[in-house]
Structure 1
Amino acid sequence: MSAAPNTLVTEQTNVLEKDPSKFEYKTTLGNCSFNDFILSYPSGACAYTGMRTVNRDAIVELKTHMARMTNSLSLIQFEGKTASQTQSANEALAALRDPVGFEARVLPLLRKGLTAYYDQVDATTHTEHPSEAKVSLMATYSFETQQPYFAAHFTALPSIPPHKRVKVEIERKERKAPEVKDSQWVRDRQTLEKNKPADVNEVLLMDHQDRLYEGMASNFLVVKDGAVVCASLDHILLGSILKIVIKVCKEHDIPLKWEFPTLQDGKQGKWEGCFLTSTSRLLLPIETILVDNESIEFKEASPLVEFLRKQVANEIYTAAYKVLP
């Protein structure tokens, strides 16, 4: 007996169509992980982003995710073997690289997919506490089929207990192009994911100068001398939840410094606390950092980190874009 489906993929099959009333979709139910979803499309680069729902009918920071997709698609160069192939790719992707064209396609795709996911896959839909969905978008172009591809992947958002703090480990690895979210990064990080112990929540990336960048799929911040510290935005990807942290810091006059957190400061006990931010984690405090066969422990929860955690949890509602009626 095969397992009940726990994911749903909705793909627009006629991306070049300009009339929204004629958009067509293909929906597939299954047990396809995010990595499998991204890597199932033609190799070469594809742009992607990971989002979450709130109240099941709205997407947090949808505008940020739309801008990220159009930006990544514009930065990825789809080079064919001939100039005319490259031109065909650029013409086919024009609508998805254009913010207005992208929005016109993404909203009906999300409506279609979310509705089908809640109806056909999500077992919590008719329970007292229905769960939220994690939604990933992907767009690319294939020179083999000479077609653009645009699809969304829907699955359950894992719920995190309210007072949880996690364990992370540090690896010496930098990300080549942090401003682009593309499938090459999904391939690059697969080895890190495979080697990660089960009780480790995330892998932090560090360079040879022991400067800390971000997690494989999260932003990383520390609290030092009453200020929140994060690697500058020309070295990392501005995540949608990090964007909310910036807003909260501004509103509450909490200093925010854009400089690399250093491993040395962490080892010398100069951090009051540290945390991850991402779509699925929101703001998740760190209890233990594993590095070079030793560990940095944060025995007490940082009051400032806990304050930010609560603020972010409230703020996601105001930063959400309603997709379903």
Structure 2
Amino acid sequence: MKQQPAWKAVCDMAAVQTAQPESLRRFFEENFTPYQVTNPDNSSDGLITGYYEPLLNGSRTRTSRFRYPLYAAPADLLVVDLASVYPELKGMRLRGRLQGNRVVPYYSRAEIDNGVAPLKGRELFWVDDAVDLFFLQIQGSGKIRLPGGEMVRIGYADQNGYPYKSIGKALVERGELTLDKASMQGIKDWAKRNPGKLTELLDVNASYVFFRELPNQLSGPLGALGVPLTAGRSLAVDPRTIPLGAPVFLSTTWPNDAKPLNRLMLAQDTGGAIKGVVRADFFWGFGNDAGKYAGSMKQAGKMWVLLPKDYPLPQP
């Protein structure tokens, strides 16, 4: 942010701020203007969900227990920056592969899991649970506990180009789950009861995420800005609406509760399911407790983006 002229002054001031609450409050009140984020129909309510950093059990080699692979980005995956041809499509990229002299869509989840894609040798780790691997791809980052107890951190590397589709929504539409049970835990419980239907359900979401191993000394998983996320303070947003790096005041409620959850956040991440204007994903941190909050968070919320007082707003 500090490389952008509109943000340089406040970034320089932020670098010398003390951690005293009153000093920080004055910093934001004196140097920023809050703008409420509204939907195209002028409504101000939107959906606030949660995500977290899960822990999986895995191995660097395949065994009878660890048989579900986490792949690094494929060598044949093409990423085309559409803005280079169409400037109005800034931030949009097309993913695919070459077939002769044509660019065609990359392989879907079903094709990858069935071994159609040329991914042999791209395995980073093998894990013991297909459902946990699926949700790891939705979260975008996590940790893997190896058989000797060593913990390794993995993060998002790339994606196959397909839009995200909710398997929870699919189960509700099929009458397999009620809406109030379509949480992460509800889906995992359904999978245990219906192992024969699991593969077909997972294939509903053709989107597939590839990973990379990250340094263990990081304080948190890396977000879209390439900096570690902070539990309870980092927010995933749609960058077409809210600039990454901007402070965002969030007004929502705790998961499955009417208790207010109002706090200043930082827009530090994006997500395949985070599309829209008043739409955000709240980062809860690492582990089971964070997962319980993240998996049950589907709250209504309002958002205000804080911009520097001299920020050049677009003219209507």
Q: By percentage of residues, which structure has more helix? A: 1
TM-score by length of 1: 0.24
TM-score by length of 2: 0.24
Q: Which has the higher contact order (CA 8 A, sep 6+)?
A: 2
